[in-house]
Amino acid sequence: MSAAREREIILKLEDVSKVYSGTVAVKRANFEVRKGSVNVLVGENGAGKSTLMKIIAGVERPTAGRILLEGEEVSFSSSGDAVNRGIGMVFQELNLFGNMSVAENIFATREITNRFGKIDRKEQENRAAELLERLQAGIRPDMLVEDLRIGQQQLVEIAKAVSLDARILIMDEPTSALSAAEVEILFKVIADLKARGVAIVYISHRLEELIRIGDYITVLRDGRITGQEEMKNVDTQWIVRQMIGSDAKDFAKADGHLPGEEIFRAEEICLPRATGGLAVDHVSLSLRAGEILGIYGLMGAGRSELFDCIMGRHGHSTGAIFIGGIKVKERDTTRRIRRGLALIPEDRQREGLVSILSVASNLTLASLSRFARLYHIHGADERQAVTQMVRELAIKVADPAQEVSSLSGGNQQKVVIGKALLTEPKVLLMDEPSRGIDVGAKADVFRTMRKLSRDGLGILFATSDLDEVMALSDRIAVMSNGKLTGMFDRAEATEAALVAASALGHGPAPHTENTAHD
Amino acid sequence: MTDIPAKAVTPSASSGSVLLTLMKLRTFIALIAVLIFFSIAAPNFLSTANLILMSKHVALNAFLAMGMTFVIITGGIDLSVGSIVGLCGMVAGYLVLNGIDLQIGYTIYFNVLEIALITLAVGILIGAVNGLLITRLNVAPFIATLGVLYVARGLALLSSDGRTFPNLVGKPELGTTGFGFLGAGRLLGLPVAIWILIVVALGAAYLAKYTPLGRHIFAVGGNERASRISGVRVNMVKMFVYMFSGFCAAIVGLIISSELMASHPATGESFELNAIAAAVLGGTSMSGGRGTIGGTIVGAFVIGILSDGLVMMGVSSFWQMVIKGLVIIVAVVVDQAQRRLQSRVTLMQMAKAG
């Protein structure tokens, strides 16, 4: 590649910090972006990559530090500002309007208008069609975005960013929902942009991808930059070492206890998708007491939807679940919790916590009836349970009466876990339990999972992190496109087999007439 | 004005936290300020007779504001309370005068206690209609209660063809006497209405602080999705708050018609706005999740004393409206400033620590 000679620096961050209520996301980071090259940014979940990129794209403002664009200090008050200065971004969470067409999405806020200010739909659709042609996405510009597969939506997001003709293009995990063929096409587009002198910032945690297309690499850990190198000088081991530090990932060893009787079984769970097809497609699985069953799959594979069905959050899902061999007839969440199911949702802020309530109130929210006699909450009982949970899970909080939003991400996650445990569940569903939390908290969460399984709980946990699923699970199920595409014993599972199974479900998609993404 | 104890805020001598404490106590400060101001500016303001009269005025708004507080904490709004006041007054008046004609030659007359219970049931029922519209039919609270506002007011007017039910003294031979007790009676020197207010307010404050239902009301307003996943019966919580609001409105309907010994179908027009104002002034956040019964009562007192005091000073009622509006706006502006200051103080502390 052309990274042999030093490329010109177009953007530079100096001592940039970003503090949210509850977390210091980025600490005094120095970061350089070079023209005509792929600048890779890598780090674990929650290391601060996305935050750093949002600062560059003008979505977030740094709490401290300077941003230099071509040597001149800039400060963006909105992403529009950044776009005007030639910085575009492909967001990790899709920022699309489902109720609008692909073309309208691509030209949102930059609508092509005629002399009288009327939107020129034809022209927009023609230009959108050109862009989509380059991505070989098989998407028509007049399709509604909500009717597209997640992977196709990601391609629209990419097309939108490319259409900006940006000088700096940030791609935050652009391949997380793409098939292998789609990834190849994306790489071609990236090579093309590079040749035109565009500086690309590329975030991913798929190491093989990074090494293939990166020119420069920067590693983030816990909000700090721990390494910055030319890609040709580094290897996988160097990256891993910078990512996780000297101490290797602490997954808490299995203690070799044997799982007991079957405690949970799901049969033929189905959930129709609003746009046709099935979000969860006839999934059946069984879990034994004391067993950790990992569910691996990419974004949009249907893992969270499966958990939602099990918890009774979708009235229109079908299939049956059994706890301890007895069929669960209750269809609502409240009574399923009483039967011994508990969910730790993926999105802590939106679904896990009531952020304006105290740590204590959050912990006991799901189990208040335990502390109440005749409608009166026994303060002493409640406080005792809270204190015990805070100690058991090592939640770092000065006073449980503090608002939960003042805690760090990891401690917030522990509060969500504590809330579920206080309902005394038999089966625990954990959706991406380590997302967005720091290394220490991760180790605590993993240790807690081990301990709970030793105590005889059945744990189902969903993750898109290969290391995690390999290290923690007794058995591994793989989901793809709503289907269960593989079930492996810990001993026989290999990373290659898991990855292969996670792509299986993407046969010809049942609800689109074309199969271009294959 | 939330239920987070003051010790949660790290004490420090900086001006920021002094300002913060002042801002948190703003409703109290406002209450004391209006009390001092009017005791100087308006003669006889502090006389016992005047204080009792004022507290009776305040009580009416305070009832509605308590019901409104729970509704707003869940993230909703109840515009129908004023109309429920009117309709419930008419129901009570109708029952005192006419009883229920069974269409078979008999008419049942109820005693005053039964009339009160039936009226309360009507209020709760209308609240339940609000709740069902919102939880089962997914109508936005603003629209659902706006619709019920019109329907209830219309029914109140229909019940008498727009006329007043006068002279609700009742007839001793029918056992319908004594309706005036609620509005004019006294126990231990205090008006009955005040005693009822004290009982309901203590009950509501207890509910908010010490019962699972109360905790769930805050949780639903703070994060409805998370509450649902935690097993909170969100729909039941919402049903409760609208029914409680209807209950409070029915009490007000009873008290007003008892005071006047007459029911007029237009009673209670725009009361909902005063109730919202009192709740907001007392620190209830319109975006849900925050608020206290104590704060709301203080808020009701500030508004009530302000309007009565201005009347005593002879300020024109047009100016009164302007002043009331300004007070509400200032209260919310200060509330927002407090939030911002508080989060900045926490962020700075974290940045220093981390």
Greater model confidence, B341 or B93: B93
Least confident of A352-366, A441-455, B47-61, B100-114: B100-114
pLDDT above 50: residue A3? no
* Residue listed under structure tokens 């409240």: A334
Backbone angles phi, psi at A356, to 5 degrees: -90, 0
The two structure tokens encoding residue B15? 């001006």
How open is the CA angle A140-A142-A145, to the nearest 5 degrees? Answer: 85
The residue among B209, B230, B338, B339 with the most chain A CBs within 10 A of its CB, best to mutate, is B230
Alpha carbons within 13 A on the beta-carbon side of A2: 15
C-beta separation of A203 from A50 below 8 A: yes
Q: How confident is the model at residue A4 (pLDDT cuts 50, 70, 90)?
A: very low
Question: How far is it, in rounded angstroms, from Cα A448 to Cα A452?
Answer: 6
CA dihedral B216→B218→B219→B222, nearest 10 degrees, is 160
Residues from chain B contacting residue A401 (CB–CB below 8 Å)? 4-5, 7-8
Question: How far is it, in rounded angstroms, from Cα A342 to Cα A460?
Answer: 10
Task: Confirm or reject contact between A372 and chain B (CB < 8 A).
Answer: yes
Backbone angles phi, psi at B263, to 5 degrees: -115, 130
Task: Confirm or reject contact between A195 and chain B (CB < 8 A).
Answer: no
Reported as type and span, the H/E element at residue A51 is helix A49-56
B205-210: Cβ within 8 A, 24+ apart:
B205/B292, B205/B293, B205/B294, B208/B3, B208/B70, B208/B292, B208/B293, B209/B3, B210/A376, B210/A377, B210/A379
CA dihedral A486→A488→A494→A496, nearest 10 degrees, is 0
Question: How far is it, in rounded angstroms, from Cα B78 to Cα A216?
Answer: 59
Give the burial string for A101-125 (b: 16+ CB within 10 Å, else e).
bbbbbbbeeeeeeeeeeeeebeebb
Looking only at the bridges linking them, the beta strands covering A72-74 and A64-69 are antiparallel
pLDDT above 60: residue B354? no
Task: Confirm or reject contact between A339 and chain B (CB < 8 A).
Answer: no
Residues from chain B contacting residue A312 (CB–CB below 8 Å)? none
Q: How confident is the model at residue B106 (pLDDT cuts 50, 70, 90)?
A: confident
The number of angstroms, rounded, from the C-alpha of A151 to the middle of its chain's C-alpha atoms is 14
C-beta separation of B170 from B262 below 8 A: no
Greater model confidence, A359 or B108: A359
Task: Confirm or reject contact between A337 and chain B (CB < 8 A).
Answer: yes
Sign of torsion over alpha carbons A398, A403, A406, A412: positive
Q: Report ipTM for this prediction.
A: 0.82
3-state DSSP of A249-278: CCCCCCCCCCCCCEEEEEEEEEEECCCCCE
Least confident of A134-148, A448-462, B296-310: A134-148
The SS3 of residue A218 is: strand
Q: Is A36 left (phi over 0), alpha (psi -120 to 50) or beta?
A: left
Per-residue pLDDT, A69: 87
Least confident of A21-25, A131-135, A216-220, A372-376: A21-25
Residues from chain A contacting residue B343 (CB–CB below 8 Å)? 21
- Residues 6 or more apart from A202 whose CB is under 8 A from it? A38, A39, A40, A41, A171, A174, A190, A210, A213, A214
pLDDT above 80: residue A208? no
Residues from chain A contacting residue B4 (CB–CB below 8 Å)? 358, 401-403
Reported as type and span, the H/E element at residue A226 is strand A224-230
How open is the CA angle A378-B63-B129, to the nearest 5 degrees? Answer: 85
Beta carbons of A354 and B231 less than 8 Å apart: no
Structural domains present in chain A: 2-244 (3.40.50.300), 249-340+425-518 (3.40.50.300), 353-424 (no CATH)
pLDDT above 70: residue A126? yes
B window 255-284, beta carbon within 8 A of A: none
The residue among A310, A335, A354 with the most chain B CBs within 10 A of its CB, best to mutate, is A354
Strand locations in A416-482 (E): 427-431, 458-463, 475-480
Q: How confident is the model at residue B2 (pLDDT cuts 50, 70, 90)?
A: very low
Mean pLDDT, all residues of chain B: 87
The two structure tokens encoding residue A497? 């087999």
- Residues 6 or more apart from B203 whose CB is under 8 A from it? none
**Alpha helix (H) residue ranges in chain B:** 15-24, 26-41, 48-73, 81-98, 112-135, 141-160, 181-184, 192-210, 212-222, 224-229, 234-260, 271-281, 293-313, 317-353
Percent of chain B with pLDDT over 90: 52
Each residue's pLDDT tens digit, B159-169: 998 899 988 88
Question: How far is it, in rounded angstroms, from Cα B229 to Cα B272?
Answer: 33
Backbone angles phi, psi at B337, to 5 degrees: -60, -40
Beta carbons of B230 and A337 less than 8 Å apart: yes
The SS3 of residue A331 is: coil
Per-residue pLDDT, A46: 64
DSSP A168-207: EEEEESTTTT--HHHHHHHHHHHHHHHHTT-EEEEE-S-H
Q: How confident is the model at residue B350 (pLDDT cuts 50, 70, 90)?
A: low
- Minimum distance, in Å, between the CA of residue A480 and any CA atom of chain B: 25
Per-residue pLDDT, A237: 77
pLDDT above 80: residue A440? no
pLDDT above 70: residue B141? yes
Q: How confident is the model at residue A23 (pLDDT cuts 50, 70, 90)?
A: low
How open is the CA angle B74-B78-B79, to the nearest 5 degrees? Answer: 155
Question: How far is it, in rounded angstroms, from Cα B247 to Cα A413?
Answer: 40
* Residue listed under structure tokens 């925050």: B290
Nearest Cα residue in chain A from B228:
A333
How many residues would you count in chain A?
A: 518
Nearest Cα residue in chain B from A368:
B212
Say which of B223, B347, B350 has its CB closest to residue A354. Answer: B223
Reported as type and span, the H/E element at residue A41 is strand A38-43
- Residues 6 or more apart from A301 whose CB is under 8 A from it? A479, A480, A481, A482, A502, A505
Per-residue pLDDT, A2: 44
- The CATH number assigned to the domain with range B29-34+45-347 reads 1.10.3470
Residues from chain B contacting residue A406 (CB–CB below 8 Å)? 346, 350
Which of A137, A75, A80, A150 lies closest to A108, judged by CA? A80
Sign of torsion over alpha carbons A95, A312, A266, A456: positive
Each residue's pLDDT tens digit, A248-295: 555 666 667 778 888 999 999 999 877 677 888 899 999 999 899 999
Question: How far is it, in rounded angstroms, from Cα A272 to Cα A280?
Answer: 7
Q: How confident is the model at residue B13 (pLDDT cuts 50, 70, 90)?
A: very low
Each residue's pLDDT tens digit, B210-231: 999 999 999 999 999 999 999 9
Beta carbons of B346 and A377 less than 8 Å apart: no
Q: How confident is the model at residue A506 (pLDDT cuts 50, 70, 90)?
A: low
